[in-house]
Chains A and B, each alone.
Chain A
Amino acid sequence: MPAHTDPALLAKAPTVVRANGVSKRFVIRKEKSLKERVVNFGRSQKHKDDFWALRDVSFDIKAGSTIGLVGANGSGKSTLLKVLGGIIQPNDGTVERRGRLAALLELGAGFHPDLTGRENVYLNSSILGLSRKQTDQYFQSIVDFSEIEEFIDTQVKFYSSGMYVRLAFAIAVHVDPDILLVDEVLAVGDEPFQEKCMNKIREFQSEGRTIILVSHSAGQVEDLCDRVVVLSHGNVVYDGETAGGLLALRESFEH
């Protein structure tokens, strides 16, 4: 049984994220060096292409809900996630949000290969918004969750890829966010560890945290989400129930 939030509770939950008419345009330039720019000065319009990654996207997200952002490759899911997380700014429209936000767009973003696991735990927790004192407090728990205690004082460049993501995920789930943005990073490590991650996500749901996740796994979305937003070429083509969303997703592939 998926750990969906009680609909009655959700109905009166406060809104935590509000997107109003968000549009994002990327300019694709074909030249980069000074020479090219000088040579093409004045004609530079020809060397630009506009690409709308998001067009007029609006929705509200209530506290405690789990939203799946789905769509074909290049439909704007990750861009939307980055806009929600404040990592890129929209060209038009606004995003309002409240509460502590943690973005898991890439596990171990900010890990420095030359530093040890321990040093990276402190650095990464700080990047994700924990104070030093809080990290001290959670440190043992982070190490226990990652199950790599014996390597914690080894430089992370010597870690296997599995150890790397384990440590990164362990830090991420200890950040205590109100809103968690997740981009395809839930299924990491071996099967027992994946199970552990999923349990942690369910625990997050039961604690009333809001989760916005981008996923290509229909099973995962069905399992976790109580609402699905389907994007196609930067437009929202469906917003609602999970089952309907997955149908709409299949339809969007045909276009």
Chain B
Amino acid sequence: MATQAEVRAARLAELPFETSVNAGPRNAGNRHVGGFFTSVKEIVSHRELLDLLIRRELKSRYKDSSLGFVWSLIKPLVQLLIYYVFIGQVLGAARGVPDFAIFVFAGLTLWGLYSETIATGTASIVSNGGLIKKVYLPREIFPLAATGSAVFNFLVQMVVLLAAILVLGQFPISLNLLYVPAAVAIVLIWGVAFAVLLSALNVYLRDIQYLVEVVMLLLFWASPIVYSWSFVVTAVKQHTWLLEVYLLNPISLGILAFQRGLWQAGSQTRVIEGNTVQPVDWPVYMDYRLIGAAIVGLIVLFIAQRIFSRLQGNFAQEI
């Protein structure tokens, strides 16, 4: 009978060699298109770890606080309150937007998914430096874990949003609901693409994570979250081409689709304080635009992953 050592040796003799790719410019193995699918396969084989990392992120975030997960709800609710009171009532935006609370909260919820994915994703490689320096793992797993925890927070907010819509008796059962998954998909594709790309760049230039904060602050106002699409249409009536520019931002498009799905009042004629508010004039060809944004997003994601895999060779020494 063969000993354990002999059995192992025999098994090892059968295995093919795996070549570790090198970071040099001469390396071709890592460059071709198939590299993307190899990486995807590697991540899929580590899905249990991904799941544990997401749990770790969620568990550790509010560990030792007595309210725990409630905190992840308090922030968006306070945001909602601020925008509802100050922008809606004090500045009067609510006069042109029916069911302003639902409108704002829908936008905030989806925007929260995007900004949290990018912000925590960008920092993810650097903040997991201890692991990256000591163990080999497919490193894309860290921005993906950040995305996972952002998705969890999004789902919690989504429950609140749906509850609010139900309580107000506005549940929009129509084909428009199909816009909701499309909007989430677009935001996720673009969010993950940027998280993957920026997390790698952030290793080499730490300024990126501060820059991201500032840019996200700006981008918040570049999408129709606290003001409605109708305002945009009215504002640029003279130059309709500006609307096209505005819609080039996939997140604006995603948020519009999300609102179209969940904010029923937007598609109806309503009367607020004696003023008749016409239904929102949703952008034309929205379906095609969404499909386009998704396809371009996937291409960007592909390129981002390729850049990531080129840069990751030096992560362990740069962190």
Query: Are A207 and B8 within 8 A (Cβ)?
Result: yes
Contact B9 A89 (CB under 8 A): no
B48 within 8 A of A: yes
Interface residues of B in 43-78 (CB under 8 A from A): 48-49, 52-53, 56, 59-60, 63-64
A98 nearest CB neighbor, chain B only: B15
Which of chain A's residues has its CB closest to B128's CB? A110
CB neighbours (8 Å) of A93 from chain B are 22
Interface string of A123-151 (1 = CB under 8 A from B): 10011100110000000000000000000
- Whether the Cβ atoms of B9 and A13 lie closer than 8 Å is yes
B6 within 8 A of A: yes
CB distance from A40 to the nearest CB of B (A): 14
Report B67 CB to chain A, min CB distance, Å: 16
Chain B 117-161 near chain A by CB (<8 Å), digits 1 or 0? 000000000000011111111000000000000000000000000
Given contacts A18-B17, A26-B317, A114-B64, contact A91 B4 (CB under 8 A): no
A98 to B15, CA, bound (A): 6
Is B19 a contact of A92 with CB atoms below 8 Å?
no
B134 and A90 contact, CB distance less than 8 A:
no
**Min CB–CB distance B314 → chain A (angstroms):** 7
Find B59's partner among A95, A115, A131, A132 (CB 8 Å cutoff): A115
B22 close to A132 (CB less than 8 A):
no
Does A86 belong to the interface (CB within 8 Å)? yes
Inter-chain contacts of A114 with B (CB < 8 A):
59-60, 63-64
State whether the Cβ of B218 lies closer than 8 Å to any Cβ in chain A: no
Whether A4 sits at the interface, judged by CB under 8 Å, is no
Known: A109-B130, A109-B135. A209 touches B8 (CB 8 A): yes
Q: Are A94 and B20 in contact (CB under 8 A)?
A: yes
A210 closest partner in B (C-beta): B12
B135 near A98 with CB under 8 A, answer: no
Residue of B with least CB distance to A20 = B19
A103 x B24 contact (CB < 8 A) = no
Contact A32 B56, beta carbon cutoff 8 Å: no
Q: Does B85 contact A (CB under 8 A)?
A: no
Residues of B within 8 A of A83 (CB): 20
Give complex CA distance A127, B314 in Å: 20
If A32-B206, A82-B316 touch, whether A119 touches B135 (CB-CB below 8 Å) is no
Partner of B131 from A63, A115, A127 at Cβ < 8 Å: A127
Q: From the candidates A88, A90, A96, A115, name the one contacting B60 in the complex (CB within 8 A).
A: A115
How near does chain A come to B66, taking the closest CB pair, in angstroms?
Answer: 15
A195 on interface, CB distance cutoff 8 Å: no
B130 contact set on A, CB distance < 8 A: 106, 109-110
- Summed over the interface, the residue pairs from A and B with CB atoms below 8 Å come to a total of 134
Q: B21 in the interface, Cβ–Cβ < 8 Å?
A: yes
Cα–Cα, bound, A15→B314 (Å) = 28
A122 adjacent to chain B (CB < 8 Å): yes
C-alpha spacing A32/B317, complex, angstroms = 14
Which of A63, A90, A110, A126 is within 8 Å of B22, CB to CB? A90
Give bound CA distance, A34 to B201, whole Å: 13
Contact call B22/A109, Cβ cutoff below 8 A = no
The chain B residue with its CB closest to the CB of A10 is: B9
User: Is A63 a contact partner of B8 (Cβ separation < 8 A)?
Assistant: yes
Residue of A nearest to B211 (CB): A34
Distance from B203 Cβ to chain A, minimum over Cβ atoms (Å): 12
Q: Smallest CB–CB gap between A5 and chain B, Å?
A: 8
Asked whether, in the complex, the Cβ of A86 is within 8 Å of the Cβ of B136, the reply is yes
Pick the contact of A64: B8, B131, B313 (CB < 8 A): B8
Query: B313 to A9, Cβ gap below 8 A?
Result: no
Q: 26 interchain pairs (CB within 8 A)?
A: A64-B5, A82-B316, A87-B132, A88-B317, A89-B314, A90-B22, A91-B24, A95-B19, A99-B12, A105-B135, A106-B130, A109-B131, A109-B133, A109-B135, A110-B130, A110-B131, A115-B60, A123-B56, A126-B49, A127-B135, A131-B48, A178-B8, A178-B12, A206-B4, A208-B5, A208-B9
The residues of A with any CB-CB pair to B shorter than 8 Å are 5, 9, 13-14, 16, 18, 26, 32-34, 37, 63-64, 82-83, 85-99, 101, 103, 105-106, 109-110, 112, 114-115, 119, 122-123, 126-128, 131-132, 155, 178, 206-209
What 7 pairs across the A-B complex have the smallest Cβ distances? Answer: A208-B5, A109-B134, A14-B13, A89-B313, A96-B17, A98-B15, A89-B23
Apart from A90-B23, A123-B56, A207-B4: 20 A-B pairs, beta carbons within 8 A: A26-B317, A32-B206, A37-B205, A63-B9, A87-B134, A87-B135, A87-B316, A88-B316, A91-B23, A94-B19, A94-B20, A105-B134, A109-B131, A109-B133, A110-B134, A112-B56, A114-B59, A127-B137, A132-B48, A206-B4
